[in-house]
Structure 1
Amino acid sequence: MSNLNELRTVVRGRVLLAGDEGFEQARRPWNLAVEQPVPAVVEAADAADVAALVRHARSAGLTVTAQPSGHGATGDVNEAVLLRTGALNEIHVDPQARTARVGAGVKWGEVQAIAGAHGLTGLPGSSPVVSVTGYTLGGGLSWFGRKHGWAADSVRAFEIVDAGGDQARVTADSDADLFWALRGGSGDFALVTSVEFDLHPAPELFGGRMMWAAEQAPAVMAAYREITASAPDELTVWLDLLKFPGAAPLVAVDATYLGDSAEARDLLAAFDTIGGTLSDSRAAMPVADLGAITAEPTDPAPGMSRAELLTDLDEVAAKALLSAPIDPLLSVQIRHLGGAFTRPSDSPHGALTEPYYLYMFGIPGTPEAADAIKTRRQEMVDAIAPYVSGRKPYTALAIGDTAADAFAPGAVARLQQIKRDRDPQGTFRSNFPVLGS
């Protein structure tokens, strides 16, 4: 405990220990179904504070785990000191160079609001409240990844604190191994205090959601398969099976198109032939409003998820996914990948050749509900077993998964060696440690 008490003399930011007022709130992860048994929370004031924390942790034999927003937490923190980086909130957008440099506490919605004003976009996912840094360290599957690849592919540089407590700027030229590892291999190798990345042109964006009663799911699925079979890289379409508590089951389609609204409507015309549309929010939209498409919760809540990458979505696989109601799951989402994801990537993930991504989510209100969610997820995976590739994106890993589930064996071995070389004392611990694979 003395080493923990000394934290208050080491850093300038707030330090909370077990028993302190506000500690329980501060240690809470995004997923409230996860218990996070950390002995201390440090809210760093700036990058120098992060460096001071690391130097103390190294000398005191402590471990540090960084969670900008708490997304992806597993509870497997091994009594590590929890680092919060919300105060590292600087954002610098250079519209001429088409770049952004953001601190480790910045969320995607904040970047999009600034970049969008210049006709530019980053490569965010579906939620505006996910941190840019945490998302990018996991690779980053974006709405616009079919056009521009992994979010990590657009990174130019990381500002980091290494395991010795020294600050450095890491690029492909300055430190090729560490730069490679940080572009999707997690934060297991250094604490990232800011990230610099390319922005991409987005003078026009069309997007929104269409929704029908679940009875139309076969027709929606057929149109989805038809559209995604020939979709241009600028078009991204996701299919959602939904069962909200107390409501009838639904099927929805979410879409974005980097281009003209008329072109987008032509590409999506097969959905317009399906009767019984309950709602249709598709329209020209600013990139800052991406989060409104799926309207995911912006406050912490309990949840259980599982993700899989699919090698195909042929008629057999489609029928299997629709063969029974999804409840007690809340949602089953199928994302179309392909496009730039399939191209070479100098990152731990490498090229993403699987064309579809399956994500299942439920709310475990009781132990019995949690068991039922696990059972239903497994049933769905078993039903499409021949199409499950066996790996999944790092940012989609969940409790029970390991880093080895996200990468090819050669990439895992390289990540493990970089970890041993750069952090031999194990000062850093990511949500899914590479040496735990």
Structure 2
Amino acid sequence: METLRSAVRGQVLLPGAPGFDAARRPWNLAVEQPVAAVVEAADADDVAALVRYARSAGLGVATQPNGHGATGRTEGAILLRTRLLDTLDIDPVARRARVGAGVASGRVQAAAAPHGLTGLPGSSPVVSVTGVALGGGLSWFGRAYGWVADSVAAFDVVDADGRPRRVTADADPDLFWALRGGGGDFAVVTALELTLHPAPRLYGGRVLWTAEHAPAVMDAYRRITATAPDELTAWLDLLHFPGADPMVAVDVTHLGDQDEARDLLAPLDRLAAPLSDSRGVMSPAELGAITAEPTDPGAGSSRAELLTELDDTAAKALLAGPVAPLLSVQIRHLGGALARPSDSPHGALAEPYAMYLFGIPADPATAEAVTARQRDFAGAVPVSGRKPYTFLNPGESAADAFTPEALARLRTVKRRHDPRDVFRANFPVGG
């Protein structure tokens, strides 16, 4: 492995070296990530050199900007960090962004917002745009514009032979399709070209109540989402943070003016006075403040499900027991453009809601209790059994995200483009 240092220009850390253990850690500190080496690529040419080295040495390459979605399936692989691939160019006239593999969602939002434009950001501003797009990507504006991957117009990649390539729907339709949500099993993406969307007006924020109001909040949430236009997105959160009383929140964004948003959200204003209400006119660059998720790595345990409905029985089941030992039970309204055809491995989402269950496995007993509570919630509501790729947890696989037909097609693309299994996705399509 010492010859790796002469193969690339970026920093190389080998086992036993100072800083190696810190460099290999994923975002979720509950996941152990064994690797043969860590390489911080200097640029796209460095990525190509690394892939050629790994291929000749019979090693795999696992690509992560900062480790979101890691599963620990990296034994014997070189961990490729792409944080230095940080190019970001905005073309406001063409409404396009060229986004390097290391660029976080929040940077795209900050650069696009002054032009009245937006990308398709999720709840966190620190995840990489490329990582989200490779997993399909659910965003605040998915109801209006579909999967994040639907807005990708081109990928710059390094293939399994270490050759730079540009992948588009015309140049290689099968690989383009696979990269738009099938994960990182097919190539290393060094940059992508993203369509930006108009956002001249945006309204959003969080309304928070004590948990005693949860039944009324749930009822209002269901009424709002039953008739919501595609421009309105609402998420319901059942929360129980350590040292605090249980709470319930509704997080919203609306691609439109304030008065229209207030009319659509009127059922919330007829409820009891909230603990806080941060709703207001906002910039697309401020979306990360709505849920205020941690921006530093930490341990976590998650489970996601897609709900086939949120009827009276499901609503009562969600409210029947305590949230603890979980920190949050989040219900996201889907539908809209997400339910329409998509040239991506996920395709259309028929399910109208997603549920995301999160807890902190502070010790083995707590970890077991968190998993059990997640299982209880999942068993109490109608689920389809399918999960979004970016919401998979380390115990799940690509087969949990895709239909058998889509998975078979992804495996065909993998065999054609990476027959020697150089690339190691978080959730390999092979199993």
The question of whether the paired residues in 1 share the 8 Å contact of 2:101 and 2:128 is answered with: yes
Classify the secondary structure of the residue corresponding to 2:290. Answer: helix
Cα distance, 1:400 vs structure 2: 1.2
- Is the counterpart of residue 337 in structure 1 residue 297 in structure 2? no
Q: Aligned partners of 1:183, 1:333: CA distance in 2, in Å?
A: 25
> In the alignment, what sits opposite 1:78?
75
- Is the counterpart of residue 236 in structure 1 residue 233 in structure 2? yes
> In the alignment, what sits opposite 1:359?
356
> In the alignment, what sits opposite 1:431?
426
TM-score by length of 2: 0.99
Of 396, 403, 414, 1:419 maps to 414
- Is the counterpart of residue 42 in structure 1 residue 28 in structure 2? no
- Is the counterpart of residue 302 in structure 1 residue 335 in structure 2? no
The question of whether the paired residues in 2 share the 8 Å contact of 1:310 and 1:388 is answered with: yes
Cα distance, 1:79 vs structure 2: 2.1
- Is the counterpart of residue 192 in structure 1 residue 218 in structure 2? no
Q: Aligned partners of 1:392, 1:134: CA distance in 2, in Å?
A: 17
> In the alignment, what sits opposite 2:245?
248
- Is the counterpart of residue 399 in structure 1 residue 394 in structure 2? yes
Of 201, 204, 209, 1:204 maps to 201
- Is the counterpart of residue 368 in structure 1 residue 369 in structure 2? no
Query: Percent same amino acid among aligned pairs?
Result: 68
- Is the counterpart of residue 222 in structure 1 residue 210 in structure 2? no
- After superposition, residues 267-282 of structure 1 pair within 5 angstroms as 267-282=264-279
The question of whether the paired residues in 2 share the 8 Å contact of 1:213 and 1:276 is answered with: no
Classify the secondary structure of the residue corresponding to 1:277. Answer: coil
Classify the secondary structure of the residue corresponding to 1:222. Answer: helix
What runs of 5+ residues in structure 1 fail to find an aligned partner? none
> In the alignment, what sits opposite 2:164?
167
Cα distance, 1:281 vs structure 2: 0.2
Of 3, 6, 20, 1:9 maps to 6
> In the alignment, what sits opposite 2:126?
129
- Is the counterpart of residue 408 in structure 1 residue 403 in structure 2? yes
Q: Aligned partners of 1:290, 1:399: CA distance in 2, in Å?
A: 27
Q: Aligned partners of 2:162, 2:394: CA distance in 1, in Å?
A: 30
Amino acid at match of 2:122: G
Q: Aligned partners of 2:345, 2:151: CA distance in 1, in Å?
A: 14
> In the alignment, what sits opposite 1:318?
315
- After superposition, residues 25-174 of structure 1 pair within 5 angstroms as 25-174=22-171
Cα distance, 1:230 vs structure 2: 0.3
Q: Aligned partners of 2:183, 2:3: CA distance in 1, in Å?
A: 28
The question of whether the paired residues in 1 share the 8 Å contact of 2:138 and 2:147 is answered with: yes
Q: Aligned partners of 2:287, 2:204: CA distance in 1, in Å?
A: 8
> In the alignment, what sits opposite 1:347?
344
Cα distance, 1:276 vs structure 2: 3.2
Cα distance, 1:69 vs structure 2: 1.8
Cα distance, 1:232 vs structure 2: 0.3
Instruction: Point out 4+ residue stretches in structure 1 off by more than 4 angstroms.
Output: none
Cα deviation, 1:206-231, whole Å, max 9, x if unaligned, reads: 00000000010000000000000000
The question of whether the paired residues in 2 share the 8 Å contact of 1:11 and 1:44 is answered with: yes
Amino acid at match of 1:421: R
Amino acid at match of 1:212: W
The question of whether the paired residues in 1 share the 8 Å contact of 2:36 and 2:75 is answered with: no
Cα distance, 1:258 vs structure 2: 0.3
Classify the secondary structure of the residue corresponding to 1:211. Answer: strand
Cα distance, 1:171 vs structure 2: 0.1
TM-score by length of 1: 0.98
Q: Aligned partners of 2:246, 2:3: CA distance in 1, in Å?
A: 54
Q: Aligned partners of 1:330, 1:177: CA distance in 2, in Å?
A: 40
**69-78 vs 118-127, greater mean Cα deviation:** 69-78
Cα deviation, 1:270-296, whole Å, max 9, x if unaligned, reads: 001111310000000000010000000
What runs of 5+ residues in structure 2 fail to find an aligned partner? none
Amino acid at match of 1:82: L
Of 4, 15, 18, 1:18 maps to 15
The question of whether the paired residues in 2 share the 8 Å contact of 1:208 and 1:254 is answered with: yes
Alignment RMSD (CA, Å): 0.6
Q: Aligned partners of 2:318, 2:409: CA distance in 1, in Å?
A: 36
Cα deviation, 1:43-88, whole Å, max 9, x if unaligned, reads: 0000000000000111110100001120000112122110000110
The question of whether the paired residues in 1 share the 8 Å contact of 2:329 and 2:358 is answered with: yes
